[in-house]
């Protein structure tokens, strides 16, 4: 009977059987468990485990290759592209190593910094390429240590192109990728997942196809976890290669490198570099249309889709690696047509998570940085532990200074001229500032006909969720309650709700209403009188640039304002209003007036002085309505305040 019940157990994959031991303390010591509710298993696995899990479950996946750009502006654009293409759900991206571009430096265009940005600021699992040819052991170790420090967990180990003709093997040097693989395993044990390159047609410099296969096997034996191949033009090329690999005992995942043809010149250049031959049937199609970019791209997409379909249909391929050439359209099109571009509107948490391994357990943040997650990540990058489960468990937060408002990953996407058009070439008084805020909320053009699509505190248009409050926000901004952050109250909506949902399905999400704004001291005086009536219901923090701080928060305790209840899990409370962090945030929030807005105007100009006046005299206020099941009372608080002023 006992056995029978065991057999009828329905949840076979998740059933745990702990037969035998009847001693509680023994069995509990044996068991290991996560220190945090795993809302998103992906965050807790290393890349090779993710790959294996997808393979086991049969979920097809893709990955994207980028190269570091030449200019800082191009880097800003590339990061936006990471964010957009990240939305399609790549298993990872990789960033190539440009030996000529100072790849391990702190320059904003270096391979290292681009990969760092992808991991930490865009939350993408990232592989950093690294070549070893012509480099010292110390250089390489230094690069690897830096990569580790920045939170990079995956290295693509490559030989790189020898410089010039006179290249000779160095004794004890790094002559081949296999030397780099060995070095990584020697110096960093199992810390990194290592990827190596495979050549479906054999490496052009190899003695033979077979010799190249043997080299590949050496790389795997030395510790590589998986293989990404050079591009190829026919699915048979890859499938044959894969069978040949398996035949000599290569069992790790082999991921085909897909190159959607996007233009005549880029194809020619790539082919030249990789010493590959373009099949005649492709040449025949392309040559006649070589000046028609759109036609070539359409053909490239078509070709890639049909080749990818053949690969996936073979049953031997679980993931596809795309050489994007830093472009979006063709790759995205191929992925969408294959049905593996999976734009999942569900967020694992209400804020974008970082992929740094230190931040794996992080699941609480102050709400203040809701529109500036990259700034929050930057300012907390030195933390050793990240709050998990409860904000109050973390030690007193020491936020790094945000001195450089032009850090490239915080840079506004809009140039100065654009900003002036949105925020006013010339301000005539505080009211013209009110108008800018109001136009941002409403989406209506300003009096010069320009839409206000960003603000110093938010580089993006209004969030969908904030749209729920649009009408009220418009009204209060018009009158000088200059809102920079808000959320409606939510009393148990399904976690799959397209606007306010987050986390796994089957759960319920909740919010306390929140409103944060700048306003004049006259309004603050009236507001404080009104707040007396709401003392037990509304928590407030009111602070000016000098740090004068008025609050009714009990014992400087954080107030959870977003939380979720999920099946079989502990409570998750991803955002809090933390009185201590608020004082760091106010420095940043006030400084943005000057750094992003006032400095658009000449010194001593009236426009600049208006912003400076606001910066010097306004208060930053946040309000939380604790009674989340009732109708949000914060609008009533603001109405009462205006009424008192009249």
Contacts to a second copy from residues 463-502, by CB under 8 A = 491-492
Smallest separation, CB 411 to a second copy (Å) = 21
Tell whether residue 232 is a contact of a second copy (CB under 8 A): no
Instruction: Give residue 294's Cα distance to chain centre.
Output: 31
Which of 544, 596, 607, 641 binds a second copy (CB under 8 A)? It is 544
Which of 193, 212, 362, 588 binds a second copy (CB under 8 A)? It is 588
Task: Count the residues of the shown chain that bind a second copy, applying the rule CB under 8 A.
Answer: 104
Tell whether residue 57 is a contact of a second copy (CB under 8 A): no
Which one, of 125, 120, 121, 135, lies nearest residue 155 by Cα? 125
Q: Per CB under 8 A, which of residues 590..629 are in contact with a second copy?
A: 619, 624, 626, 628-629
Which of 180, 370, 531, 620 binds a second copy (CB under 8 A)? It is 531
Nearest 10 degrees: CA dihedral of 428, 431, 433, 434? -160
Smallest separation, CB 609 to a second copy (Å) = 19
Decide: helix, strand or coil at residue 10.
coil
| CB nearer a second copy, residue 340 or residue 545 | 545
Place of tokens 């529109």: 371
Tell whether residue 539 is a contact of a second copy (CB under 8 A): yes
The single residue of 4, 65, 108, 382 carrying the catalytic annotation is 65
Smallest separation, CB 4 to a second copy (Å) = 6
Which one, of 352, 303, 332, lies nearest residue 64 by Cα? 332
Which one, of 96, 152, 90, 89, lies nearest residue 126 by Cα? 152
In angstroms, the CA 637 to CA 633 distance is: 6
Question: Is 603 one of the annotated active-site residues of the chain?
Answer: no
- Mark 248-277 with x for binding to a second copy (rule: CB under 8 A) and - for no binding: ------------------------------
Q: Residue 575: which residues within 8 A CB-CB, separation 6 or more? A: 350, 351, 364, 365, 366, 367, 370, 560, 561, 562
Place of tokens 């959870």: 560
Smallest separation, CB 23 to a second copy (Å) = 7
Sign of CA dihedral 541, 547, 548, 553: positive
For 415-441, give one letter per residue: b (16+ CB within 10 A) or e: eeeebbbbbbeebeebebbbbbbbbbb
Judged by CB under 8 A, the stretch of 104-112, 146-154, 433-441, 547-555 that binds a second copy is 547-555
| CB nearer a second copy, residue 10 or residue 208 | 10
Smallest separation, CB 203 to a second copy (Å) = 43
Tell whether residue 557 is a contact of a second copy (CB under 8 A): yes
Which of 82, 378, 437, 566 binds a second copy (CB under 8 A)? It is 566
Instruction: Give residue 531's Cα distance to chain centre.
Output: 39
Tell whether residue 581 is a contact of a second copy (CB under 8 A): yes
Look up residue 630 and give its two tokens.
């009732």
Which of 352, 528, 609, 645 binds a second copy (CB under 8 A)? It is 528
| CB nearer a second copy, residue 13 or residue 646 | 13
Judged by CB under 8 A, the stretch of 6-14, 71-79, 152-160, 244-252 that binds a second copy is 6-14
Beta partners for residue 257, in sequence order: 231, 321
How far separated are the first and last CA of the chain, in Å rounded?
Answer: 79
Which of 120, 584, 632, 641 binds a second copy (CB under 8 A)? It is 584
Q: Per CB under 8 A, which of residues 348..407 are in contact with a second copy?
A: 388-393, 396-401
Q: Give the number of other Cβ atoms within 10 Å of residue 101's Cβ.
A: 17
Sign of CA dihedral 382, 383, 384, 386: negative
Q: Residue 169: which residues within 8 A CB-CB, separation 6 or more? A: 175
| CB nearer a second copy, residue 79 or residue 530 | 530
Instruction: Give residue 556's Cα distance to chain centre.
Output: 31
Beta partners for residue 206, in sequence order: none
- Mark 626-645 with x for binding to a second copy (rule: CB under 8 A) and - for no binding: x-xx----------------
The number of C-alpha atoms within 13 Å of 519 and in the hemisphere containing its C-beta is 26
Which one, of 262, 208, 257, 213, lies nearest residue 233 by Cα? 257
Smallest separation, CB 25 to a second copy (Å) = 5
Which of 148, 450, 569, 599 binds a second copy (CB under 8 A)? It is 569
| CB nearer a second copy, residue 424 or residue 488 | 488
| CB nearer a second copy, residue 94 or residue 578 | 578
Beta partners for residue 61, in sequence order: 319
Tell whether residue 522 is a contact of a second copy (CB under 8 A): yes
Look up residue 388 and give its two tokens.
């998990």
Tell whether residue 445 is a contact of a second copy (CB under 8 A): no
Look up residue 419 and give its two tokens.
């900003």
Which of 92, 192, 510, 593 binds a second copy (CB under 8 A)? It is 510
| CB nearer a second copy, residue 82 or residue 369 | 369
- Mark 21-40 with x for binding to a second copy (rule: CB under 8 A) and - for no binding: xxxxx-xxx-xxxxxxxx--
Which of 53, 84, 283, 529 binds a second copy (CB under 8 A)? It is 529
Smallest separation, CB 96 to a second copy (Å) = 36
Which one, of 297, 377, 372, lies nearest residue 330 by Cα? 297
DSSP 8-state code for residue 192:
S
| CB nearer a second copy, residue 18 or residue 172 | 18
Altogether, the residues listed in the chain come to a count of 646
Q: Residue 462: which residues within 8 A CB-CB, separation 6 or more? A: 440, 441, 443, 470
Tell whether residue 559 is a contact of a second copy (CB under 8 A): yes
Smallest separation, CB 632 to a second copy (Å) = 15
| CB nearer a second copy, residue 80 or residue 491 | 491
| CB nearer a second copy, residue 78 or residue 481 | 481
Tell whether residue 55 is a contact of a second copy (CB under 8 A): no
Which of 537, 613, 642, 645 binds a second copy (CB under 8 A)? It is 537
**Are 103 and 70 in contact, with CB atoms under 8 Å apart?**
no
| CB nearer a second copy, residue 44 or residue 451 | 44
Q: Give the number of other Cβ atoms within 10 Å of residue 404's Cβ.
A: 10
Q: Per CB under 8 A, which of residues 127..146 are in contact with a second copy?
A: none
Sign of CA dihedral 289, 293, 298, 300: positive
List the catalytic residues: 65
């Amino acid at each position: 009977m006992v056995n029978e019940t065991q057999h009828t157990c329905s949840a076979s994959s998740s059933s745990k059987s702990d037969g035998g031991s009847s001693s509680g303390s023994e069995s509990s010591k044996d068991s290991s468990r996560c220190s945090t509710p795993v809302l998103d298993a992906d965050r807790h696995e290393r890349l090779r485990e993710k790959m294996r899990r997808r393979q086991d479950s049969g979920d097809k996946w893709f990955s994207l290759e980028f190269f570091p750009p030449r200019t800082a502006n191009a880097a800003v654009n590339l990061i936006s592209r990471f964010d957009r293409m990240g939305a399609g759900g790549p298993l990872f991206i990789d960033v190539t190593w440009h030996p000529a571009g100072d790849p391990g430096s702190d320059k904003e265009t270096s391979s290292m910094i681009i990969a760092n940005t992808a991991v930490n600021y865009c939350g993408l699992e990232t592989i950093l390429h690294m070549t070893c040819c012509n480099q010292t052991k110390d250089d390489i170790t230094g690069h690897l240590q830096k990569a580790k420090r920045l939170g990079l967990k995956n290295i693509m180990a490559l030989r790189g192109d020898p410089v010039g003709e006179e290249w000779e093997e160095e004794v004890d040097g790094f002559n081949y990728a296999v030397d780099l693989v060995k070095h990584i395993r020697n110096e960093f044990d199992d810390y990194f997942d290592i990827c190596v390159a495979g050549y479906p047609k054999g490496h052009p410099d190899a003695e033979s196809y077979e010799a190249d296969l043997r080299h590949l096997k050496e790389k795997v034996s030395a510790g590589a976890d998986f293989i990404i191949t050079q591009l190829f033009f026919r699915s048979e090329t890859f499938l044959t290669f894969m069978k040949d690999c398996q035949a000599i005992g290569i069992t790790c995942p082999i991921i085909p490198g897909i190159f959607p043809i996007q233009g005549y010149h880029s194809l020619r250049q790539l082919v030249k570099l990789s010493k590959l031959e373009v099949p005649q049937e492709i040449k025949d199609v392309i040559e006649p249309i070589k000046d028609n970019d759109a036609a070539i791209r359409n053909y490239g997409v078509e070709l890639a889709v049909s080749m990818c379909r053949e690969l996936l249909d073979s049953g031997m391929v679980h993931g596809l690696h795309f050489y994007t050439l830093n472009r979006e359209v063709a790759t995205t099109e191929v992925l969408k047509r294959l049905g593996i571009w999976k734009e999942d509107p569900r967020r694992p948490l209400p804020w974008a998570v970082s992929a740094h391994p230190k931040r794996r357990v992080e699941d609480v943040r102050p709400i203040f940085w809701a529109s500036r997650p990259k700034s929050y990540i930057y300012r907390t990058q030195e933390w050793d532990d990240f709050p998990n489960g409860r904000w109050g468990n973390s030690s007193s937060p020491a936020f790094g200074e945000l001195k450089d408002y032009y850090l490239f990953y915080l840079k506004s996407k809009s140039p100065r001229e654009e900003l002036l058009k949105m925020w006013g070439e010339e301000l005539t008084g505080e009211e013209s500032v009110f108008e800018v805020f109001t136009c941002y909320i409403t989406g209506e053009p300003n009096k010069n006909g320009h839409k206000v699509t960003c603000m110093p505190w938010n580089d993006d248009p209004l969030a969908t969720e904030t749209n729920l409050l649009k009408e009220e926000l418009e009204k209060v901004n018009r009158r000088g309650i200059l809102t920079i952050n808000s959320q409606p109250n939510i009393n148990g909506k399904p976690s799959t709700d397209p606007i306010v949902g987050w986390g796994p399905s089957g759960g319920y999400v909740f919010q306390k209403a929140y409103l944060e704004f700048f306003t004049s001291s006259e309004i603050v005086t009236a507001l404080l009188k009104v707040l007396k009536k709401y003392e037990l219901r509304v928590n407030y923090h009111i602070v000016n640039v000098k740090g004068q701080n008025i609050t009714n928060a009990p014992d400087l305790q954080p107030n959870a304002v977003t939380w979720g209840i999920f099946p079989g899990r502990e409570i998750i409370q991803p955002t809090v209003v933390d009185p201590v962090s608020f004082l760091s945030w106010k420095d940043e929030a006030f400084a943005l007036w000057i750094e992003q807005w006032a400095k658009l105007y000449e010194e001593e100009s009236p426009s600049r002085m208006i912003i400076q006046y606001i910066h010097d005299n306004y208060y930053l206020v946040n309000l939380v309505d604790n009674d989340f099941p009732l109708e949000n009372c914060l609008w009533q608080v603001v109405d009462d305040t205006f009424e008192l002023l009249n």
